[in-house]
């Protein structure tokens, strides 16, 4: 039992370290359907050079609502995008995915809502 614990502890420490040092997507600022919004993130030097940004329903694995940007350069830490005109929506997330293999998710934002465009 002591052998298993001695192996598990370093593995857990490695996972915690990896989890702390990775791309972190923030909730968009003032997200309004059909409007331009700023999306920010925190990246680390070892993060991937580019990625694609998806808007997705958080509850549905195939809930793609829009491809907001492709081949995003992470260096600036910010991008302006136009959100799809979907009306008011809840339970959305941003996902940064591998630009050539979208099944490889680098980061997911916290859940947020998008307001309807003013009339």
pLDDT digits (tens, 9 = 90+) for 5-55: 555 555 444 444 444 558 999 999 889 999 999 999 999 888 888 999 999
Calculate the CA 73 to chain-centre distance.
Answer: 14
Q: Is residue 119 part of a domain?
A: no
> What's the rounded Cα separation, in Å, for the pair 20 and 58?
22
Give the Cα separation of 87 and 79 in Å (integer).
22
Domain count, the chain: 1
Residue 108 lies in a domain: yes
pLDDT in tens, 84-97: 999 999 999 999 99
Give me the domain span that covers residue 93.
2-114
User: Which of 103, 94, 43 is closest to 73 using CA atoms?
Assistant: 43
CATH number at residue 101: 2.60.40
**Which tokens go with 93?**
């997330």
Give me the sheet containing 36-42, strands edge to edge: 24-25, 36-42, 78-82
């Amino acid at each position: 039992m002591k052998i298993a614990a001695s192996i598990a502890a370093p593995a857990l420490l490695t996972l915690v370290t990896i989890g702390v040092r990775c791309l972190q997507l923030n909730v968009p600022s003032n997200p309004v359907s059909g409007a331009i919004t700023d999306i920010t993130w925190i990246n680390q030097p070892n993060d991937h050079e580019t990625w694609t940004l998806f808007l997705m329903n958080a509850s549905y694995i195939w809930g793609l609502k829009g491809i907001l940007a492709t081949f995003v350069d992470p260096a600036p830490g910010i991008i302006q995008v136009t959100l799809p005109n979907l009306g008011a929506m809840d339970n959305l997330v941003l996902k940064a995915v591998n630009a050539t293999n979208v099944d490889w998710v680098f980061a997911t934002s916290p859940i947020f809502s998008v307001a309807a465009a003013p009339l």
